[in-house]
Amino acid sequence: MEKRLSEICSPVENLALGGLFIRTKNPLHTGTMLQLMFNTPQGQCECGPLVRNVKAGEGMGVAIVSMEQEDRGRVDQWLKQLAAQGETVETGG
């Protein structure tokens, strides 16, 4: 049985294929597995990040440890588009 604890919408920073930083005043503990869903211009993507480090009161750095190949392609394409436009890869929530 899958346990769903909560649904959180938070801004992210430093988004890359390998991970990201999630801004939140209440970060989860190091080692916590998450399910992350976000939208790109190419469609919705899902991944399984793992909390790697925590900054109390600021947020948590997570490493993406699982992602379907199709979603990885969407995120890669989106990051390349943002880089070509000279935009900072940061999204708000």
As a whole number, mean pLDDT of residues 23-31 equals: 93
Q: What element of type H or E holds 66? A: strand 59-66
Rounded alpha-carbon distances, angstroms, from residue 60 to 24, 45, 51: 7, 20, 7
Q: Which residue has the higher pLDDT, 78 or 1?
A: 78
* Res. 41: pLDDT tops 90: no
- How far apart (Å, rounded) are the C-alpha atoms in residues 25 and 58? 5
Predicted TM-score (pTM) of this structure? 0.77
Kindly list the domain boundaries of the chain, sorted by start residue: 12-84
Give the right CATH number for 12-84 from 2.40.10.220, 2.40.128.20, 2.70.150.10, 3.40.50.300.
2.40.10.220
